[in-house]
Amino acid sequence: MSIYREYDIRGIFEKELNEATVVRIGYALSKRIEGDHVAVGYDARSHSPVLFEYLVRGLNAGGKKVLDMGMVPTPVNYFTNYQEWDGITPSASVMITGSHNPSEYNGFKITVDKAPFFDEDIYELGHEVEAMDMPREAKRSIMKIDPVTRYVEFMLKEFSHLRGMKERIVYDCGNGVAGIVTERIFNGLGLHVKGIYIDPDGTFPNHHPDPSVEHNLEDIKKLLASEGDIAFAYDGDADRIAVLTHKNNIKGDMMALLYAMKIDNPVVVGDVKCSQVMYDELERCGGKTVMYKTGHSNIKVKMKEVDADLACEVNGHVFFKNRYFGYDDAIYATLRMLELVHDGIDLDAELARLPEVFSTEEINIEATEKEKFKIIEKLKELLQNPPSDFPHIKDIIDVDGVRVVFDTGWGLVRASNTTPALVTRFESTSKEDVKKYETVLNDLIQKAKELL
């Protein structure tokens, strides 16, 4: 059951994602889809085509016909749900991807009726799979489609006004699947570009495809310094982005602030890790903000609920409903950022105007799968009656873990939904206070562990 996560299904190929399990996943999933057609695509990992065949067998056994999109970025997979293919609109899609995980991992991101299939739906699916026998073989039913060309054509039309931009653009695909579309789009728009690690290679020979980790940005930073005006980097399946200038590594929350400049009275959803600066500045400028749980599936559901124009996570997931379909797409986010530059917005100058804050990166604290959520609950109890020397608490936000609001900043402690760990982050307008908040909350975490 450990492969069934809150946002998706993820595990090690063969050891956890083997033939028997994946065929049964396909069959069990087919029973939760009302229509006849499921679109399936996969990333660059060597075992992704193998998992594709297993999944197709299960979907076919459950009476579903498969639209085969081949190797695609995850946003292209999502895009497929909004298109007709010879008169057929998919009722669901499955993206076979390990995202930014090591090369031995793989998994499934599932969309049903244009909405994420996650949380309790995934857990229930897992229990059913574990209890069922292998389904009977059915006749193979599969139809090839070409969503990449359709997607590229869409982007070329939507961003035709960017043709001939003079800025020098550099980018790093990290040997993930972003390169399947980036060259066609950038060249089609006549942009001045230079890319590295463009060819998909699921062994990721140059660096790990996670642009939220500073070490993985070393090569693109060197290229930016010598040959670029702005840089972009993508994760393994191209639903997360890093944006770099000569002065800034722009995180997802600050990207949202910049994007919102071109949206009238925007409604913006941010995750609990986002800077308070983002929330405060958006509200000050006439926007409305909603703080919600981390996780791409959670964010998409909340966006629909509050009719948001835009959403973001600090780690580089950016979601556009304004002029788009409401899912996270690093390629689309690239073009919207280039649009800001094209319109004369100085990204660094805009960021320099914001209030100065000091913040940590995400800091992981080891905790077992069994104990991590229990630690959070115990921490909530301890915060109701904190130690006498504990900083003044202005508010406690428990939408996802615990975000403790202090006089000059905040500290977050939440259970990771993908690893056996607690995730912490701290921010303050004072360099001394951010360290103090980290220290006192870490001490309280330790006490919570001891009391379990």
Number of Cα atoms under 13 Å in the Cβ half of residue 271: 27
Query: Looking at residue 294, what is its pLDDT?
Result: 93
For residue 255, what pLDDT is reported? Answer: 98
Q: Which CATH class is domain 358-451?
A: alpha beta
Q: How high is the mean pLDDT of the chain?
A: 96
Contact assessment for residue 217 and residue 156, using Cβ atoms and an 8 Å cutoff: no
> CB of 264 within 8 A of CB of 257?
no
CA quadruple 242, 245, 248, 252: dihedral sign:
negative
Q: What is the mean pLDDT of residues 14-19?
A: 95
Q: What gap in Å lies between CA 259 and CA 267, rounded to an integer?
A: 12
Contact of 318 with 259, CB cutoff 8 Å: yes
Task: Give me the active site residues, please.
Answer: 10, 99, 317
Going 441 to 443 to 447 to 452, the CA torsion angle's sign is positive
- To the nearest 10 degrees (0 to 180), the angle between helices 431-451 and 369-384 is 110
Does residue 435 surpass a pLDDT of 90? yes
Tell me the pLDDT tens digit for each residue of 87-122: 999 999 999 999 888 899 999 999 999 999 988 999
pLDDT at 189: 98
Which class for 442: exposed (0-12), middle (13-18), buried (19 or more C-beta within 10 A)?
middle
Say what the pLDDT of residue 160 is: 98
Q: Which of 201, 168, 190, 423 is nearest to 315 (CA)?
A: 423
CA dist 82 and 89 (Å) reads 7
- Predicted pLDDT at 5: 84
Residues 6+ away with beta carbon under 8 Å from 293:
271, 272, 299, 302, 399, 400
Report pLDDT digits (tens) over 65-92: 999 999 999 999 999 999 999 999 999 9
Q: 212, 201, 88, 75: which is closest to 142 by C-alpha?
A: 88
Residue count (the chain): 452
The enclosing H or E element of 305 equals: helix 296-306
Helix, strand, coil shares of the chain as percentages rounded to 5? 35, 25, 40
**Class of the CATH-defined domain 150-352:** alpha beta
Alpha-carbon gap, residue 118 to 121, rounded angstroms: 5
Which pLDDT does position 419 carry in this prediction? Answer: 79
The answer to whether 235 and 99 have CB atoms below 8 angstroms apart is yes
Mean pLDDT on 137-161? 97
Q: Which pLDDT belongs to residue 441?
A: 97
Sequence spans of domains, the chain: 9-145, 150-352, 358-451
pTM for this prediction: 0.95
Q: Tell me whether the CATH fold assigned to 9-145 matches the one assigned to 150-352.
A: yes
Tens of pLDDT, residue by residue over 288-305, are: 999 999 999 999 999 999
pLDDT band of 159, cuts 50, 70, 90: very high
Helices then strands, each counted (H, E), the chain: 14, 23
- What's the rounded mean pLDDT across residues 390-417? 96
Q: What is the rounded distance in angstroms from the CA atom of residue 178 to the CA atom of residue 176?
A: 6
Distance set, CA 38 to CA 72, 129, 324 (Å)? 15, 19, 22
pLDDT above 80 for 137: yes
Predicted local distance difference test score (pLDDT) of residue 191 = 97
Domain spanning 9-145: which superfamily? Answer: Alpha-D-Glucose-1,6-Bisphosphate, subunit A, domain 3 (3.40.120.10)
CB atoms within 10 A of CB 149: 11
- Given its phi and psi angles, is residue 70 left (phi above 0), alpha (psi -120 to 50 degrees) or beta? left
Q: Give the pLDDT of residue 2.
A: 83
**Are the C-beta atoms of 64 and 27 separated by less than 8 Å?**
no
Torsion of CA 314, 315, 321, 327, to 10 degrees: -150
Report angle CA 79, 80, 85 to the nearest 5 degrees. 145
Of the candidates 430, 434, 443, the one whose C-alpha atom is nearest the C-alpha of residue 386 is: 443
- Which pLDDT score is estimated for 217? 98
Report how far residue 278's alpha carbon sits from residue 265's, in angstroms, rounded to the nearest whole number: 14
pLDDT of residue 1: 81
Burial per residue of 218-236, b for 16 or more beta-carbon CB atoms within 10 angstroms, e otherwise: eebbebbeeebebbbbbbb
Percent of the chain with pLDDT over 70: 100
Computed from CA positions of residues 219, 320, 146, 10, in that sequence, does the dihedral angle turn out positive or negative? Answer: positive
Instruction: Find out whether 293 and 252 touch, Cβ atoms under 8 Å.
Output: no
Q: Region 417-440: what's the mean pLDDT? A: 94
> How many Cβ atoms from other residues are within 10 Å of residue 138's Cβ?
15
418 pLDDT exceeds 80? no
What pLDDT digit, counting tens, does each position of 195-227 carry?
999 999 999 999 999 999 999 999 999 999 999
- Report which DSSP code applies to 262: T
Question: Cα separation of 110 and 122, whole Å?
Answer: 9
Residue 351 has pLDDT above 80, yes or no: yes
